[in-house]
Amino acid sequence: MPLYEYQCSGCDERFEALQRIGADGKDLTCPACGKPKPDKVFSTFAAGSVSHGAAQSAAPAPHSCRSGGFG
């Protein structure tokens, strides 16, 4: 199995996990804070490469209707 790198959207913790090919890490949780669904980190080894219609499947984050602006 390939080793993928993930980054927690909650505490920015980076960690690696063995995943099946094509896995998106939805079943993973952050080892630091326990937050589920970490972001997959893509290696930046191909510097200067031109993207030619790469299929990006970025799921839009749902807007939460939170009231109050206390930061």
Interface residues toward Zn ion, by CB under 5 A: 8, 10-11, 13, 30, 32-33, 35
CB of 41 to Zn ion, least distance (A): 13
Q: In the complex with Zn ion, which residue's Cβ is closer, 2 or 33?
A: 33
CB of 52 to Zn ion, least distance (A): 34
Shorter beta-carbon distance to Zn ion: residue 7 or 19: 7
d(CA 35, CA 16): 15
Instruction: Give the number of other CB atoms < 10 A from CB of residue 39.
Output: 15
Residue whose C-alpha is closest to residue 3's, from 18, 25, 22: 18
Please give the structure tokens belonging to residue 11: 């505490």
| Beta carbon of residue 9, minimum distance to Zn ion (angstroms, whole number) | 8
